[in-house]
Amino acid sequence: MRKIINPAPDTWAALVKRPTKNLTELEPGILETLRLVEEQGDAALLQLAQKYDGVQLQSLLATGVEIEAAEAKVSQELKEAILQAYSNIQLFHTQQAEPVRQVETMSGVSCWRKSVAIEKVGLYIPGGTAPLFSTLLMLGVPARIAGCREVILCTPPAKDGSIHPAILYTASLLGITHIVKAGGAQAIAAMAFGTESVPAVYKIFGPGNQYVTVAKQLVSKTGVAIDLPAGPSEVLVMADESANPAFVAADLLSQAEHGADSQVVLLTTSEEVLQQVEQELEAQLSVLPRREFAAQALKNSLGIILGSRQEMLEFSNLYAPEHLILSISDFEVLLDGITNAGSVFLGHYSPESAGDYASGTNHTLPTNGNARAYSGVSLDSFVKKITFQYITREGLQNIGKTIETMAEAEGLEAHKNAVSIRLKELNRV
Alpha helices, H only, 125-244: 133-146, 165-174, 184-193, 210-220
Is 124 part of any known ligand binding site?
A: yes
Is 233 part of any known ligand binding site?
A: yes
Indicate the helix (H) or strand (E) that contains 383. Answer: strand 383-391
Q: Beta partners for 234? A: 263
Q: Give me the sign of the Cα torsion angle 283, 289, 290, 292.
A: positive
Distances (CA, A) of 344 to 335, 351, 376: 9, 10, 11
**How far apart are alpha carbons 349 and 352 in whole angstroms?**
10
Distances (CA, A) of 392 to 99, 101, 273: 24, 18, 67
Q: Is there a catalytic annotation at residue 322?
A: yes
Helix (H, G, I), strand (E, B) or coil at 261: coil
Torsion of CA 190, 196, 201, 204, to 10 degrees: -20
Considering the candidates 257, 280, 311, 322, report the single residue annotated as catalytic. Answer: 322
Which amino acid, residue 218? L
Is 258 part of any known ligand binding site?
A: yes
Distances (CA, A) of 214 to 167, 211, 310: 24, 5, 36
Is 50 part of any known ligand binding site?
A: no
**How far apart are alpha carbons 58 and 48 in whole angstroms?**
13
Can you say how many angstroms the Cα of residue 11 is from the centroid of all Cα atoms in its chain? 30
Is 356 part of any known ligand binding site?
A: yes
Is 211 part of any known ligand binding site?
A: no
Torsion of CA 336, 341, 347, 351, to 10 degrees: 160
Considering the candidates 93, 164, 323, 363, report the single residue annotated as catalytic. Answer: 323
Is 415 part of any known ligand binding site?
A: yes
Q: What is the DSSP letter of 50?
A: I
Are 273 and 249 in contact, with CB atoms under 8 Å apart?
no
Q: What is the DSSP letter of 290?
A: T
Are 363 and 138 in contact, with CB atoms under 8 Å apart?
yes
**How far apart are alpha carbons 323 and 255 in whole angstroms?**
9
Closest to 223 measured CA to CA, from 200, 198, 254, 249: 200
Q: Beta partners for 203? A: 121, 225
Closest to 210 measured CA to CA, from 260, 161, 140, 164: 260
Is 280 part of any known ligand binding site?
A: no
- Feature table: binding site for Zn(2+): 255, 258, 356, 415
- Return the active site residues: 322-323
- Feature table: binding site for NAD(+): 124, 186, 209
- Feature table: binding site: 124, 186, 209, 233, 255, 258, 323, 356, 410, 415
